Every structure is written in structure tokens, then in C-alpha cells.
Amino acid sequence: MSDATAFWIIGAGAGELRGEALPALEADHVRVRMICSGVSRGTERLVLHGRVPASEQARMRCPFQAGAFPWPVKYGYGAVGRIEGGPRDGERVFALHPHQDRFVVPGDAAMRIPDAVPDARATLAANMETAINALWDAELLRAERVVVIGAGVLGLLVALMARQEVEQAVHVVDPDSARCALARELGLQAAAAADGEFDAIFHTSGHPDGLATALSIAAFEGRILEMSWFGDRSVTLPLGGAFHARRLRIISSQVGHVARVRRAWITRGQRLALALEELSDPVFDRLLGPRIAFSDLPRELPGLLDGTPNPPQIVVTY
């Protein structure tokens, strides 16, 4: 008999639902019934198509992943659910857990969701945590000019959070007109091409051309925060132009470690708690897009990941 059902990727662009037996509930663990989960479009697309390089397979494991890359693998990290039983019975929590209708995790891996944050909005927590870490990596100054290349969920989260840090308007660049329209509705400057020079450039598009664009619009001693992950794809950059003369910097920003400038006094748990608190603002509901029933995930997820729905965040309902 199965205690739970989980989504497994079993081949290139293919997935299935599998029954699982839950482990015995230890004293310091909690059992969670899923309410909804978020799909991290860029990373989960690469996983779905088996594009995690062999050199990165150990580092790319999510906290409660099962199986191994490329397949079969149970992957995901945007779980919102409610605790069943015990002293925390009924508490809504966020966990970095794959798509699964019920699961057991250590109690400290189930972060309480603030009352002001609705279920679907809470699925943005992992991406919000990534955005916050990138802003810490950037060490923004109030007077700096900021642009985000790529208006997916991560890019828009970065732009909205950067708006709180700088005095000037935050710009967004994306060739998709619908995504630009959404960015403008959110109060951001948005266009298909960049206009001007910028001190801090966040690249989230996932396309090598976006990184080349970042180099072309960086101001003197500008810095580029590279947040895209290219999987097994090589990237060629035009470094023979003004890259050296302008003293530009390309900085890798990744959520696996707390940014260096905050690492001494902020833990990963505290960073995740901050991300959830930031999601109390209803503006982030504008990033929530297609709803897909968990039972339909094997059939519909490949098409959703390979398309460009707007708004960008896919929410799985249980």
C-alpha cells in the first residue's frame, strides 16, 4: 500500500506518478500534506530534459531528492503544505521538497509560513530566497543604475526587490512583449532592448545572448550578477571588446551559500524566513500563473516548461 504519491522524471521530457511508503515518524520529524507546489522553470526544465552535467550532479541535488540524474529522479523545491498531527498540527509550512502529495521531513526543514502569505504566493519562496541572495551579492548602492535581463519569475523578483534598494527606476529587458507589459504593470521600466549604461546588471534569462547584452550595457567598473544556470551548454562571450578597458566584473550568484557579505551572521534558515516575510506583499500575486492539478503533472508539465506563459510561475495544486 502507498502512503503517498510523488512525481518522478523517468526520461527526456517524460514523467510519471509513483506510489511511495512514508518513513516512520520520528520524534523530531513532521508529516506534511501538500497544498500546492511551485515549479522552478529554468532548473526543472534542465532536469526534465536530462541536461545536468555530470560534474554538477552532486551539487544540484535538492534537499529531499530521490533517485539520481539524469533519470529516474524525484526533483523540486517549492512545497507548501500543512502539518498533520503532533504539537504543530495544522501549521502551514514551506519546505524544499519535490512534488509529492504527502511527505515526512525533519521539523526544522518545515518553515512556518506567515499568516499574511497565501498558499500559492508562498510557492515563490525558493526563488525569492535566490533573489535576496543575489541582491546581497551585488552590494547595491542607493545611487546606482540597475537593470535585470530576463523577466521570468526570478528576474521580476530581483527587479521588485532591487527597487527597494536604489533611488532610480529599475529597468527590465526581455524580448517577450507580454513579459515586458507585466513588468510595466508592476511599476518597472521594461523594453525589448536596453537603453543606456548600468552599474549593476542581473542576468536571469538563461540565454547566452542575454549575458552578451549585459557586457554591452555595463558602465565603467560595472558588475554583472550571473544568475542563469546553463546546465551542459557552453557559453561564448565577446570579451575582446571593452570588457577589460571598462574593468567589468562577472559575479556568480547562487543560492547554495549565503552571500559572503552576510554569511557571518545570517543562516540559510534565517534567509528563507526573510524570503517568506517579504512575500507578504500582494504585488507578488501578479507573478503567479498557470495552475496544474498534481494528477495532470506527467501530461502537462513538459508543455508548460517549454512554453512561455505569462505570468511565469507554474503552481501545482493537490
> Is the link from the previous residue into 70 a cis peptide, with omega within 30 of 0?
yes
Residues 156-172: what's their mean pLDDT?
Answer: 97
Q: Within the chain, where are the H helices?
A: 41-48, 119-122, 125-138, 153-162, 177-185, 208-217, 268-278, 297-306
Same domain, 134 and 119: no
Q: What is the pLDDT of residues 197-237, one digit of tens each?
A: 999 999 999 999 999 999 999 999 999 999 998 888 889 99
- Same-domain pairing of 196 and 304: no
CA 233 to chain centre: 19
pLDDT of the residue at 11: 97
Is there a domain that residue 265 lies in?
Answer: no
Predicted local confidence at residue 1, as pLDDT: 54
For residues 112 and 149, membership in a common domain is answered with no
Question: Helix, strand or coil for residue 76?
Answer: coil
Residue 310: the pLDDT is: 66
Q: Residue 2 above 90 pLDDT?
A: no
Mean predicted confidence (pLDDT) in 304-317: 83
Whether residue 247 is found in the same domain as residue 304: no
* Structural domain includes residue 272: no
What average pLDDT does range 114-137 have in this prediction? 98
Average pLDDT, the chain: 95
pLDDT tens digits, one per residue of 34-76: 999 999 988 899 999 999 999 999 989 999 999 999 999 999 9
Q: 210, 149 in Cβ contact below 8 A? A: yes
- d(CA 60, CA 87) in angstroms, rounded, equals 33
CA angle, corner 256, sides to 11 and 276, nearest 5?
Answer: 95
The percentage of the chain sitting over the pLDDT mark of 90, rounded to a whole number, equals 89
Reply yes or no on whether the pLDDT at 297 is more than 90.
Answer: yes
What is residue 183's predicted lDDT score, i.e. its pLDDT? 96
Domain count, the chain: 2
Q: Which of 263, 308, 262, 312 is nearest to 286 (CA)?
A: 312
Cα 1 to the chain's mean position, in Å? 34
Task: Please count the other Cβ atoms lying within 10 Å of the Cβ belonging to residue 167.
Answer: 9
Q: What is the mean pLDDT of residues 7-28?
A: 96
Q: Is the pLDDT of residue 132 over 90?
A: yes
At residue 62, the pLDDT reads 94
Same domain, 120 and 137: no
The residue range of the domain holding 71 is 4-124+279-317
Global confidence as pTM: 0.95
Q: By the 8 A CB rule, do 49 and 30 touch?
A: no
CATH number at residue 141: 3.40.50.720
- Mean pLDDT on 137-142: 98
Check: CB of residue 21 under 8 Å from CB of residue 32. Answer: no
CB atoms within 10 A of CB 299: 11
In this structure, what CATH number is given to the domain that contains residue 46? Answer: 3.90.180.10
